[in-house]
Amino acid sequence: GESVGLHLPTLSVQEGDNSIINCAYSNSASDYFIWYKQESGKGPQFIIDIRSNMDKRQGQRVTVLLNKTVKHLSLQIAATQPGDSAVYFCAENRRTNAGKSTFGDGTTLTVKP
């Protein structure tokens, strides 16, 4: 079936290092991808998005890369800070699915001081 999944359930990095969180998807008809951050006890919050006709998008300290050939996207966080510790989800939307998001399982990022 169709799925969105993350490669690693946990990631631990040193404060100040760069973090890379990966996500694979199976449906080539995906139109739009979103990364969400979920802090403990809170709902997910939007970080950055990318349309399927793009291969890179940059925000403040975050970059999303999309490789449609291998159906893979990644979230890169520069100079990771303790406040970046959270669970990160990738999600994909398709026009054929009325725009509803399908979420991956999440990667827990821990930033060590």
Partner 1 sequence: NAGVTQTPKFQVLKTGQSMTLQCAQDMNHNSMYWYRQDPGMGLRLIYYSASEGTTDKGEVPNGYNVSRLNKREFSLRLESAAPSQTSVYFCASSEAGVAAEAFFGQGTRLTVV
Nearer to partner 1, 4 or 77 (CB): 4
**Dihedral (C-alpha) 79, 84, 88, 93: value to the nearest 10 degrees?**
-80
Is position 32 an interface residue for partner 1 (rule: CB under 8 A)?
yes
Q: Which of 12, 14, 18, 45 binds partner 1 (CB under 8 A)?
A: 45
Question: Which span sits near partner 1 by CB under 8 A: 31-39, 59-67, 68-76, 77-85?
Answer: 31-39
Contact criterion met (CB below 8 Å) for 86 and 97: no
Q: Report how far residue 51's alpha carbon sits from residue 93's, in angstroms, rounded to the nearest whole number.
A: 10
Is position 16 an interface residue for partner 1 (rule: CB under 8 A)?
no
